[in-house]
Structure 1
Amino acid sequence: MTVGKKPDAARLDKIVADARRAADQRELGYRERSLKMYPWVCRPGTKPEIGRGRAGNA
């Protein structure tokens, strides 16, 4: 980064606006809408591991 050079405000505003628009688009997806309605169903770390057999038989 160049010392003493100020960031271009218009460029930063465009980057922020693009990021917000992308986040809004992602929220329209099926999975994101489902997570808002049923957050306990599909959270990371809550899915049982596959192929380990019954609980306690690791």
Structure 2
Amino acid sequence: MAHPSLLRELVERCETLRRRTASGGNAETVRQLEDTTRCAWSRAPTSWTRRCSSPVAS
């Protein structure tokens, strides 16, 4: 499990990229969001993964 400050940083990065994607982000922004989301979920506590069926928002 990652340090809480690293997880917080990854969540903030995901939120920033989601806003960019929602406001017309390009393919690179979408790729960065997918990569960051995957990275955050791979480091998340197991309790997070048990509560959610999918780590990537649809």
User: TM-score, normalised to structure 2's length?
Assistant: 0.37
**Higher RCO structure, 1 or 2 (CA under 8 Å, sep 6+):** 2
**Greater Cα radius of gyration, structure 1 or 2:** 1
Structure with the higher helix share, 1 or 2: 2
